[in-house]
Chain A
Amino acid sequence: MKDIYELLNDIDIDETEFKEIEVSELEKAKVKRTLKKSISKKKKMKRWQKNVLAASIIFGLSTATIGLSFTASAKSIPLIGDIFSYFSNENSGLSDDIKNNGKGLYSDYKAYSNEIGLTEESNGLTFTINDAIYDGKTVTITYTIESEEDLGDGSFFIPSPNIKEMKAQGGSDGISKVADKKYVGLLTVSNLEDLKVDKVNIDWDINSISITDTDKEIKGNWDFAFSLKATESNEKVINKSVNQHGVKVSVEKLSISPMSFVVDYHQEVSDSVKNKWDEAYVELSIRDDLGNVYAGQGNGGSGIDSYNLNFSKTFQKIDPNATKLIATPHVTLRNFTSENHGEATITEDGEEKVSSFPTKPSSAPKELVLDDIVIDLKK
C-alpha cells in the first residue's frame, strides 16, 4: 500500500497558489534547532546500522578488527546497577518496532555473565570492566568510565580488545553518559568465521581514548587481560531458504544459549540484481508463534564480495514456550557513491590498500521484504 507521502508525489499541485512569506535568520535558526533535536535520536540509529554494514564487508578475510560505535543519548540519569539492562532497550540503538515489553536484547545477560570488576586508573581517568560474557560467537563486555574532567556527551573512540582466538572480528560499541563525568559502555566482538572455541583470552590494552566530537585524545594505560568460557549452547542446523526478487536468503544455523540465540544466515544475489545495484544487504527480523518479537543486533559478516555474504545476528532469550521462529528477511539494495563507499583491503602484514568503486548511476536505495522463513524449534 502506498502511503500519503508517496501518493502526494503524483498530485500535480498548482504552485502559483502559494506565496512565500519573508523569514528572518532567527526563525530559520529556530526551526533548524528544533528539527535537529527531534532527528538526533533516529539519525544515530541509522548511522549505527550503516556502520554495521561497513563492518560486514571485509574482503579477503585477513586479520581485521573493526571498532564501531553507536552512541545513545542519556535522557535521564539512571542508577546504573546493571549496564546490560541499561543498553537493553532505550539505549540499544534499536528501532522502535523491535523493542518489546520493556525488554531488550541484553535483558537476560546479567544473570549469566561473569563479574569481572577490573579497574585501572591512569591520567585522571578510571576505566572499569564490569561484566563480560561469551556465547560461543560473541564476547560482550560492559564497562564504566569515570573522569576528573568533563568529556562531553560520550562520543569516544576506544581501541578494540584483542582476542587471539578470533581471526576475523566484527562488533559494536555503545557508550552513554549517565551522570556528570560518568559514562557506561557496552562492547561486542564477534567472530566472523565459523570457528567454535570454548574459551577466549581477551587482551584489552588501551593506550588512548579519543573524544570524537572535539578531536581530543587522552593518553594513558588501561590494560586488561582476562579469559572467558563459552556459555552452554545448543546448535541446530536449519538450512532453509527463500528466493525472491533475485535475492536468496538462507538461514543456516541456530545456536541457542541460556540468555540469547544466534542466527547464522547467508545471502546470495542473482546477476540481474548485480547489474542494477552495487550492494545487497539483508537484515533479519524474528518473531515466534506466540507473537513475541525478538530484539537483536547484527554481528557483522563476511564473504567474497558485496553480494554473497555470511552474516550472524544475536537475538534476545528465546521464549521457552515458543515452537516456531519466523524469520523475515529485509533486503536493502544500494548503489555506491564516492561519498558513501570505499574499499579497504588489509593484508597479512597489516598493510592497507584503499581503492574506490566504479559506480552505477546513483539512485535511492530500494527496500524489499521477502517471504518468511519458518523454523521449527521442536524438530
Chain B
Amino acid sequence: MKSTNKNFIERLQRQEEDALEFIVDTYLPLIKGVTYKVLSPLRNDGVMEECINDIFLSIWNNSIKFHGDTTDFRKWICAIAKFKAIDYYRKAMKKMELTSGYTEVDPEKSAEDELIILEDRKELLQLIDLLEPVDRDIFIMKYFLGLKNEDISIKLGLTKASIDNRIYRGKKKLSQKATNLKLGGSVV
C-alpha cells in the first residue's frame, strides 16, 4: 500500500517509510521556501541542506505529536520548518561571530535571542509551559518562530500594546520561576 493524500498522516505516525517519501515529494518545495527565506542571507547551501534534512527528520520522529487534518499538517510542518531554520540561523550567526574574531555585538540581537541561545531549550519549554495558553502562544511565536510583536497582535486580535505588556509580564514571571527552579543566572 502506498501513501496518498488521505492516509499519509496515519502512515507517517505508524512510521511507514513510504509516508516519508510522500511528504518529501509533496512538501519539499514548501519546506525549501520557508528555509530559504530565513537562511538565504547566510549564503551557505550546506547549512540549508542540513536544515531541510533536520526538518524532515524531526517531522518523522515527532509525527505522533501531531493532531489534525491535512491543512493543519501543512501549518504544523511550516511552523517546525520556521522554528528549525531560525535555530540554524542563530547558531550560524553565533559561529560567524566567533570565527570573525570581533567582539562587537550584533546590535539587532536582543537579550531574548541571547536567552534562547544560552538556555537549554528543554528548560525553557518547561518554563513556558507554566504560562497561560495565550501567553504561551505569544512566547512561542516570538522566540521560536521569530514573529514581530505587530504580527502577533494581528494574528491574535489583540493590540500591540497588550502583546508588549504580556511579553513583559511573561518574562518577569519566567525569570521568577527560573530563580525558583535554580536554573542560574542566564534567565534574567
Interface residue ranges, A against B (CB under 8 Å): 1-15, 18-23, 27-28, 31-32, 34-36, 38-39, 42-43, 46, 339-340, 362, 364-365
**B17 pairs with A39, CB closer than 8 A:** yes
CA distance A6 to B53 in the complex (A): 20
Chain B residues 103 to 145 lying within 8 A of chain A, measured CB to CB, are 121-122, 125-126, 128-129, 133, 136-137, 140-141, 144-145
* B29 interface hit (Cβ, 8 Å): yes
**A4 pairs with B83, CB closer than 8 A:** yes
**A12 pairs with B155, CB closer than 8 A:** yes
A114 → chain B, closest Cβ, in Å? 39
Residues of B contacting A: mostly: helix
* Known contacts A9-B66, A11-B145, A27-B28; A340 and B14 CB within 8 A of each other: yes
A18 → chain B, closest Cβ, in Å? 5
Chain B residues 1 to 29 lying within 8 A of chain A, measured CB to CB, are 1, 10, 13-15, 17, 20-21, 24-25, 28-29
* Known contacts A18-B33, A19-B33, A43-B17; A8 and B79 CB within 8 A of each other: yes
CA distance A36 to B62 in the complex (A): 16
User: Beyond the given A11-B140, A15-B75, could you list 12 further A-B residue pairs with CB under 8 A, ordered by the A residue number?
Assistant: A3-B62, A8-B79, A9-B67, A12-B75, A13-B79, A13-B82, A18-B37, A21-B32, A31-B28, A35-B20, A42-B61, A340-B14
**A20 pairs with B30, CB closer than 8 A:** yes
A-B contact pairs, 23 of them (CB 8 A): A3-B65, A6-B65, A7-B128, A9-B72, A10-B133, A13-B145, A18-B33, A18-B37, A20-B29, A23-B28, A23-B29, A28-B25, A28-B28, A35-B20, A35-B53, A36-B20, A39-B17, A39-B20, A39-B60, A43-B17, A339-B1, A365-B13, A365-B64
**A8 pairs with B80, CB closer than 8 A:** yes
* B76 interface hit (Cβ, 8 Å): yes
* Known contacts A2-B129, A43-B17; A7 and B24 CB within 8 A of each other: no
Q: Which residue of B is nearest A42, CB measured?
A: B61
Residues on A with beta carbons closer than 8 Å to the beta carbon of B28: 23, 27-28, 31
CA distance A6 to B126 in the complex (A): 13
CA distance A365 to B13 in the complex (A): 9
A5 → chain B, closest Cβ, in Å? 4
The 4 nearest A-B residue pairs measured at CB: A20-B29, A5-B62, A8-B79, A5-B65
**B125 pairs with A3, CB closer than 8 A:** yes
Residues on A with beta carbons closer than 8 Å to the beta carbon of B65: 3, 5-6, 9
A38 → chain B, closest Cβ, in Å? 6
Residues on A with beta carbons closer than 8 Å to the beta carbon of B56: 31, 35
Interface residue ranges, B against A (CB under 8 Å): 1, 10, 13-15, 17, 20-21, 24-25, 28-30, 32-34, 36-37, 52-53, 56-58, 60-62, 64-68, 72, 74-76, 78-80, 82-83, 121-122, 125-126, 128-129, 133, 136-137, 140-141, 144-145, 155
* Known contacts A5-B65, A340-B14; A11 and B137 CB within 8 A of each other: yes
Candidate in A14, A28, A339, A364 with the most chain B CB atoms within 10 angstroms: A364
**A21 pairs with B155, CB closer than 8 A:** no
Q: Which residue of A is nearest B25, CB measured?
A: A28
CA distance A125 to B40 in the complex (A): 56
A34 → chain B, closest Cβ, in Å? 5
Residues on A with beta carbons closer than 8 Å to the beta carbon of B136: 7
CA distance A11 to B78 in the complex (A): 11
**A9 pairs with B68, CB closer than 8 A:** yes
Q: Which residue of A is nearest B154, CB measured?
A: A14
CA distance A9 to B78 in the complex (A): 11
Residues on A with beta carbons closer than 8 Å to the beta carbon of B128: 7
Q: Which residue of A is nearest B36, CB measured?
A: A21
CA distance A239 to B75 in the complex (A): 49
Residues on B with beta carbons closer than 8 Å to the beta carbon of A27: 28, 32
Q: Which residue of B is nearest A25, CB measured?
A: B25
CA distance A35 to B83 in the complex (A): 19
**A364 pairs with B72, CB closer than 8 A:** no
**B14 pairs with A23, CB closer than 8 A:** no
B24 → chain A, closest Cβ, in Å? 5
CA distance A147 to B10 in the complex (A): 41
CA distance A15 to B61 in the complex (A): 23
**A22 pairs with B76, CB closer than 8 A:** no
B177 → chain A, closest Cβ, in Å? 13
Residues on A with beta carbons closer than 8 Å to the beta carbon of B126: 1
Residues on A with beta carbons closer than 8 Å to the beta carbon of B155: 12, 14
**A20 pairs with B125, CB closer than 8 A:** no
Residues on A with beta carbons closer than 8 Å to the beta carbon of B61: 42
**B10 pairs with A362, CB closer than 8 A:** yes
CA distance A340 to B16 in the complex (A): 11
CA distance A21 to B35 in the complex (A): 10
**B58 pairs with A35, CB closer than 8 A:** no
* Known contacts A1-B126, A19-B33, A39-B20; A364 and B13 CB within 8 A of each other: yes
**A21 pairs with B33, CB closer than 8 A:** yes
A93 → chain B, closest Cβ, in Å? 15
Q: Which residue of B is nearest A10, CB measured?
A: B137
* Known contacts A1-B125, A9-B72; A31 and B53 CB within 8 A of each other: yes
Q: Which residue of A is nearest B60, CB measured?
A: A39
Q: Which residue of A is nearest B9, CB measured?
A: A364
